[in-house]
Chains A and B, each alone.
Chain A
Amino acid sequence: MSTPIAYFLVVSAALFTIGTVGVMVRRNALVIFMSVELQLNGVNLALVAFSRLHGNLTGQVLTFFSMVVAAAEVVVGLAIIVYVFRRRRTANVDDLAVLRW
């Protein structure tokens, strides 16, 4: 292949940043969580790219693990979100500000 690795890295960085911004501008807990997933995917892309760059598989293995982690996180996260929704009837994080100051 002839595409410079850096291109993929830039894309990954972009995705990561978009995810980051998403966490900050969205209010729906679910969407925020999705943005986090986007960040993770950005990182994964970087890992794979690096693995290609260094010519070893560690990056891919790490990506694999991060997917597992993501899966687990999603389970826990969604459980919490569901639970919160049951309790407060909303998934809007701005409404969750009892604890402050």
Chain B
Amino acid sequence: MSADQIVFWVFAPISIGSAIAMLLQRNAIHAALLLIVNFFTIAVFYLVLEAPFLFAVQIIVYAGAIMVLFLFVIMLLGVDRDEVLAERIRWQRPAAIVIGVGVLAELVVAIRAGVGFATNGPEAFAETVNRGGNTEALARSLFREYFFPFEATSVLLIVAAIAAMMLAARHRRAITRAEQEERAAELEPSEAAS
């Protein structure tokens, strides 16, 4: 049993377990932490799949930045109180699980038919594709073939920034006025059509 297999068989259960645990975890903060664990395992998989650069990014951006942001917000809003897991919508949970399993099954079928459980990637990935190191190779393809999408992401980030500005920094006046108006509107009779 080669090293990568051991790694896989160790981390795969952790990965899935952490994910499931996150669902069952009533406390938002703990859920976030479990998610971080899960991201770590994924990072490991990246390493196994010979994508060291993404391994790094996964840890820094995801496990780092993004999840921290999550935790920050959770604390900010003080929603770290335990969530009641009792389901109010009938059939919601069983339906969700059944359908989820169904989807999973179908995906697995597709993977089995499409890839097969024996197939392996080409050997010498490192020598050919990752020539001169994964990072450099990635950079090459990123700035040659995908430079336009790369530029496009800038717009994405601007939009995100504006979103933060508009929503987070919304001054209270607007809100209160809206509230007043809505109360007024509720008094108005809004009758249906004949």
Contact = CB atoms under 8 A, between A and B. Distances in A.
Contacts of A7: 8, 12, 117
A99 interface: no
Contacts of A3: 2, 4-5, 8, 48, 120
Contacts, number: 245
A85 B77 contact: yes
Given A11-B12, A57-B141, A61-B142, A44 B42 contact: yes
B83 A28 contact: yes
A55 B128 contact: yes
A31 B57 contact: no
Main secondary structure of the interface of B (DSSP, over half): helix
Given A2-B4, A61-B142, A8 B120 contact: no
Contact of B115 (A6, A38, A82, A87): A6
A30 B92 contact: no
Interface residues of B, number: 88
A83 B120 contact: no
Given A18-B20, A26-B23, A37-B66, A2 B77 contact: no
B132 to A, nearest CB: 12
B42 A5 contact: no
Interface of A: 1-11, 13-22, 24-28, 30-31, 33-35, 37-38, 41, 44-45, 48-49, 51-58, 60-61, 63-65, 67-76, 78-83, 85-87, 91-92, 94
Name the 3 nearest CB pairs between A and B, nearest first. A24-B96, A21-B100, A72-B160
